[in-house]
Structure 1
Amino acid sequence: MIYQIQIMDTRTSAQDVMRCDLCETAVVQMHCDTCLVNLCKACVGEHISTGESKDHKVVTFQSRKSTSLYPGCTIHSKERSEMYCNQCDIPICVYCITSDEHQGHNILPLMQVAEEKKEKIINERNELNEKIYPTYQGIASDVQNRMSQLKREYGDLSTAITKHGEDWHREIDKLVQKLKAEVDEMKNTQLQTLQKHLDEIYKSILNIKEEINVVEIVLDTNDLSKLFKFESNSYIYRNLPHRIVSSLPEFIPGKIQEKLNERFGTLSLLSLTSDAHGYSMKTTLKLSDVGSSPPTRQLLDEPETVTTIDTGYGRLDNIACLSDEEIWTRGTSSNMKLFSINQGSLLKSITTKSGKWPSDIAVTKSGDLVYADAINGTVNIVKNEKIEEVIRLRTWRPQGVCSTSSGDLLVIMYNYVYEPTKVIHYSGSTEKQTIQFDDKGKPLYSSGLYNIYITENRNLDICVSDGGAKAVVVVNQAGKLRFRYTGHTPAPTIKPFNPLGITTDGQSHILTADYNNDCVHIIDHDGQFLCYIECGLSNPWGLCTDTNDNLFVAHTKNETGEIIKFKYMDT
């Protein structure tokens, strides 16, 4: 249940003109922030002369907000509580401190405790804004996508039944309709269950937003009594809803024989279960996850080298951060290695299923390693050190792969007949979108076998470093061309722009490795050049960033594959 706290401003809700608390006749003009007393100008002197031990702070009535409103002492009614007893967990006044009741207790200034309380509430609000609320939005999107997929698959199921029914002609029409009705009933059962699940998620999202609003009201008030009375309900939403898991019934056709109702085919039983571990809390801040933009950070004048890692590859091509402490690598070997960033030590090694070099690697939102295998035309995912084939291509070959903020895959691929390179957006193994031509029907990317890599920007733009075209090609989420970046003049070594690895950061900057010029280009999300990073790089190739916007560069120095970690933005 979400509790709404309605705050009434007693200073603006009086039924009549506010009167002086001393003479009770003149209009209020001044206010003592120390004693919380309203005064007229004539009574100021009399008030100051009373209670000589007090440091009266008299301000104009309009300026009275400048001081926090201390709660009154529950024991000494005329005193205000300026201290806090940790053992008793209550605000107390100066007279309470000297009483036997609080003797030997840990007494702290009330404002210190209030600041700690406020910081805790701010953390609660941040968790609601940055983790819980976007997680529920992602869950709602996931349920909607699965509902759409169910509709398509149920359509395919109905089509299969219909096609089989055509072979049986008129005598089995009634049976066909009966089975299709069962399909519709199963579909409706699943969709109704998922719709109910979605409605509950949306209800939770509304409650979370309402909780955030309540927190904002509490944080905005200067009445400490209300601050101490407030209790957050964010714990309710940390236990994420169960994930509804469903399986599609299978149509099993039978041979045409005498007992048509038995031989035509049946549907398997409907399976609809709830998985308590189906969803996980978001831990990485994405623009698609949160409605607000990240705080602006500035590029450093001189990037700082933080650490280097020797990977043991003769040539290091691609890297992908698993976390701020671990990084995956691939080079001139069938082994993909996981290294500790801080220690530089090898943690794990996975060999590709084909035994060939992977053409690219990426890490999914859930932390699984994905790699593209151009030799056998597959995209594979590594879960618990077991390799699962996700996508298999026939005439095309995957060159680059990345995991999107929604958990889908973007695969950029080529073929040997020199058709224009294309990007395919996959949900699981299902094609959702093809990006290959611009609005005028011209190819967006080069043709043939070139080094070409892909990433998704924070604003959901799709960014491709096209070695064949010598350009970074950026399209929006719908596949419409936004811009092409073809380098900046003068380049550090004044050689032709040769983009390889590509990545983005929390400010939506696009970073690409320039192999020829031994540097990294940084451009903004609209394609405007910002700066170069050189710092002793030699033939840079793969790039990635971590959650703190540190840059990792894979380069080959003295015939050794090495990773350099750079800090290139302020904190």
Structure 2
Amino acid sequence: MDPLDRAQVLLLCDLCQRAAVQSHCELCQINLCKACVGEHLSDSYKRHNIVLYKHRTSTSSYPKCSNHLEKYCELSCEKCDIHVCSSCISSGKHHGHKIKDILRTPRSKKEYLRKDLKEFEQRLYPTYKKIARDLNLEKNKVEKHYKKLLSAVDIQEEDWYRQIKFIVKQQKSDIHEMKRKHLASLNEEEREVENKILQIKLCRFYLINELDSDDALLTSDYIYRNSEFRVLPHKLNILYPNFYPHQINTEQFYQMFGFLSSLSITTEEHGYTMKTLEAASFPPIKPLLDEPELITTIDTGYDCLYSVSCFSDEEIWTCGEDKLIKLYELQGNLLRSIKAKSACDIAVTWKGELVYTDYMKRTVNIVENDQIQEVIRLQGWTPYKIFCTSSGDLLVTMIKDYFEQSKVVRFFQSTEIQTIQFDLDGKPLYSSKHYIKDICENRNLDICVADYEARAVVVVNQIGKLRFKYSGPPSTTKGSFYPRGIATDSQSQILTADCYNNCIHILDQDGQFLRYIDNYVLNDPCGLCVDTIDNLFVAELRGGKVQKIRYLK
């Protein structure tokens, strides 16, 4: 007997949610009452196949019942939160429970998915990201504090050296051991938090894909994990040791030299607080200047300058044909240089670490304390352009061997979590015959690529769906559009360097042309970046100069 015929199982129309179900659209997988059939058929943009509910034949969309193997689970018990078949209903175990069509359940679950996704994006992920940032700052504090301790011991050692050399060595050893234990505790918690962040990001992308998917069965099997991430890790309460020097006393030099207080590491269950959900904040509106202003010029000394990236509002990293990556003050003073034989592009992480692509070794590398560490190594693909997103991911453009294909890959640390290569029709999003494809992320999380060979800026949303392509303004007196560098600002405006026409195009976030920056001579503009207060830095390919430009009021 059909479940609809049982009094305790009243299925309501999916449209009006008031009248009993009489019909079913097999193509739309929706249940209808008699009054709503006409309304459903009025949607002429879709095909429909209306049958009596009891004559529906789409059982292949339902899962098999685990208790009655010959039956399909066409229904879902909301109270028990399980799928049930007609025999399960007949058993009486679900008498009085609210029963729904299983294919209706995903539609209601979508709201829960949206709520979970909102919590992931606005609460869980920012909270764990802040914890990770705090741990990193704490590690820096550890370095400074223990360096101060060692310095205090060294000063005391200068006076006592001949008599207490053994004691000095012993106490230094104690300090290093305390530091090791201290860092080990922080590293352990940091690994736990980073693992949680990875899980959250994977869950987040799963939720995005589920919301975008029409696979009702897959959505109905969604497992809620938010409660797992709401339980924050215990926070370490650390009482730093200190060094207390004594005046020299030759008779009691061992006791009088000084002592270290103990290193105390405890955990605090509610030490971290969860970020509250709140409305998104928007930056103040900054209109474009009538005439952009050239603020300063930095001569980097490169014959060919590829890219520029802001380390801070006062310092910039530069990368070019030279075998050095250089850090400059805006006054033009060289602060640091990193030897990188085949660096192609650079970026700066939210921690302030330098990352770069090495096209000869096919690697992505990070620089920590002037030490180069390999993060990603590719096989069959060569990485070229790179960008660090607001969430800490790395976006990398890459070309397959022999220039057969190109794609954008998102990495979390060294884990590949997203590939963007084709549109919905299976056609390549990006050209493959040239490696120049600069990349950045917009404030609205769009991914923007300046595709030199395609003569277009290609913009996709955060899940990789094409939003638009920009190939230049509708009418122009300038020559062909060849975009190289690309950047975005606090207004979600897109800026791209038009190298052949020696100008910068400014677009809004939907790809509408706003204006050029071309009121003075740019010499083959190439790399672009924008600092935190929306100053534009333009790396000139020929001549090796970086121009700092103000273009917003």
In the superposition, the TM-score normalised over structure 2's length comes to 0.53
* Cα separation, 1, equivalents of 2:412 and 2:338: 25
- Paired AA for residue 147 in structure 1: K
C-alpha distance in 1 between matches for 2:453 and 2:316: 28
Q: For structure 1, list consecutive stretches of 5 or more residues without a partner in the other structure.
A: 1-130, 154-191, 202-239, 244-272, 282-287
User: What residue number does 2:105 align with?
Assistant: none
**CA–CA separation in structure 2 for the residues paired with 1:521 and 1:151:** 37
* CA displacement at 1:522 relative to structure 2: 0.4
In 2, the alpha carbon distance for the partners of 1:547 and 1:150 equals 30
Q: CA–CA distance in 1 between the matches of 2:444 and 2:423? A: 20
- What is the match of residue 517 of structure 1? 501
- 8 Å CA contact retained: 1:396, 1:414: yes
Q: Is the 8 A contact 1:300 1:569 kept in 2?
A: yes
- The corresponding residue for 2:281 is 292
Contact 2:363–2:376 (8 Å) recurs in 1: yes
**Aligned to 1:307, which of 293, 296, 301?**
296
Give 1:145 shift.
Answer: 6.7
Partner of 1:328: 317
Counterpart secondary structure, 2:532: coil
Distance 1:242 1:280 in 2: 10
Distance 1:501 1:133, change over 3 A: same
Residue 431 of structure 1 is aligned with which of 416, 425, 434?
A: 416
C-alpha distance in 1, partners of 2:472/2:317? 28
Q: CA offset at residue 449 of structure 1?
A: 2.9
Structure 2 CA distance, aligned partners of 1:133 and 1:436?
29
Matching residue of 2:355: 370
- Highest Rg: 1 or 2? 1
SS in 2 for 1:542: strand
Residues 189-216 of structure 1: per-residue CA shift (max 9 Å, x gap): xxx9x97884348xxxxxxxxxxxxxxx
Question: Structure 1 residue aligned with 2:338, among 314, 332, 350?
Answer: 350
2:391 corresponds to: 406
Going from structure 1 to structure 2, the CA distance change for 1:530 and 1:454 (only over 3 Å counts) comes to same
Count of paired positions: 320
Superposition map of 1:377-396 within 5 A: 377-396=362-381
Pairing 1:532–2:520 present: no
Aligned to 2:544, what secondary structure does the other structure show?
strand
Q: Note the 1:491-506 alignment, pairs <5 A.
A: 491=476, 494-506=478-490
In the alignment, which of 533, 543, 548 is matched to residue 560 of structure 1?
A: 543
Aligned residue in 2 for 1:147: 196
- 1:19-52 per-residue CA deviation (whole Å, 9 max, x = no partner) reads xxxxxxxxxxxxxxxxxxxxxxxxxxxxxxxxxx
How big is the shift at 1:489? 5.0
Counterpart residue number, 1:316: 305
Does structure 2 conserve the Cα–Cα contact (< 8 Å) formed by 1:337 and 1:349? yes
Counterpart-to-counterpart distance in 2, 1:289 and 1:306: 38
8 Å CA contact 1:364, 1:407 repeated in 2? yes
Structure 2, gaps ≥5 residues long: 1-121, 133-189, 203-224, 238-264
CA RMSD of aligned residues (A): 3.6
How far did residue 417 of structure 1 move? Answer: 3.1
Partner residue in 2 for 1:199: 231
Contact 1:502 1:543 in 2 (8 A): yes
> Which residue of structure 1 aligns with residue 471 of structure 2?
486
SS in structure 2 at match of 1:136: helix
* 1:217-366 correspondence runs (5 A): 241-242=235-236, 291-341=280-330, 343-352=331-340, 355-356=341-342, 358-366=343-351
3-state DSSP class of the match of 2:485?
A: strand
Matched-pair contact (CA < 8 Å) for 1:491–1:517: no
Structure 2 counterpart of 1:320, one-letter code: S
Distance 2:278 2:374 in 1: 28
Distance 1:406 1:413 in 2: 21
- SS of aligned partner of 1:417: helix
| Contact 2:460–2:467 (8 Å) recurs in 1 | yes
In structure 2, do the counterparts of structure 1 residues 522 and 401 end up closer, same or farther at CA, with 3 Å as the change threshold? same
Change in 2 beyond 3 A, CA 1:462/1:197? closer
Are the counterparts in 2 of residues 545 and 551 from structure 1 also a CA contact under 8 Å? yes
Task: Provide the TM-score with structure 1 as the length reference.
Answer: 0.51
Distance between the aligned counterparts of 2:201 and 2:550, measured in 1? Answer: 47
Q: Give the 3 Å change call, closer, same or farther, for CA 503–152 of structure 1 in structure 2.
A: closer
User: Percent identity between the aligned chains?
Assistant: 48
Give the structure 1 partner of residue 451 of structure 2.
466
Q: CA deviation at 1:139?
A: 4.0
Where does residue 127 of structure 2 map in the other structure?
Answer: 136
Question: Residue 565 of structure 1: SS of its match in structure 2?
Answer: strand
Q: Work out the CA distance in 1 between the residues paired with 2:510 and 2:374.
A: 36
Query: Distance between the aligned counterparts of 2:197 and 2:549, measured in 1?
Result: 43
SS of the aligned residue for 2:522 comes to: coil
Cα separation, 1, equivalents of 2:356 and 2:386: 7
Distance 1:134 1:291, change over 3 A: farther
Aligned residue among 439, 448, 463 for 1:454:
439
8 Å CA contact 2:283–2:490 kept in 1: the answer is yes
Superposed displacement of residue 334, structure 1? 1.5
Distance apart, 1:525 and its partner CA: 0.4
Alpha carbons 2:128, 2:197 under 8 Å: kept: no
Deviation at 1:420, TM superposition (A): 2.5
- Please tell me whether the aligned partners of residues 544 and 552 of structure 1 are also in contact (alpha carbons under 8 angstroms): yes
Question: Counterparts of 1:510 and 1:152 in 2: how far apart (Å)?
Answer: 26
What amino acid is the match of 1:309?
A: I
Opposite residue 291 of structure 2, the aligned amino acid is E
Secondary structure in 2 aligned to 1:138? helix
Post-superposition offset of 1:491: 4.4
Deviation at 1:514, TM superposition (A): 0.3
Report the residue type matching 1:136 in the other structure. T
Change (3 A) 1:295 1:133: farther
Matches within 5 A, 1:48-67: none
The CA deviation at 1:424 is 0.7
> Which deviates more, 133-142 or 382-391?
133-142
Identify if the C-alpha distance between structure 1 residues 522 and 290 changes in structure 2 by more than 3 Å, giving closer, same or farther: farther
Task: Supply the distance in 2 between the matched residues of 1:538 and 1:280 (Cα, whole angstroms).
Answer: 51
Q: Structure 2 CA distance, aligned partners of 1:398 and 1:312? A: 25
In the TM superposition, residue 150 of structure 1 has moved relative to its aligned partner by 6.9
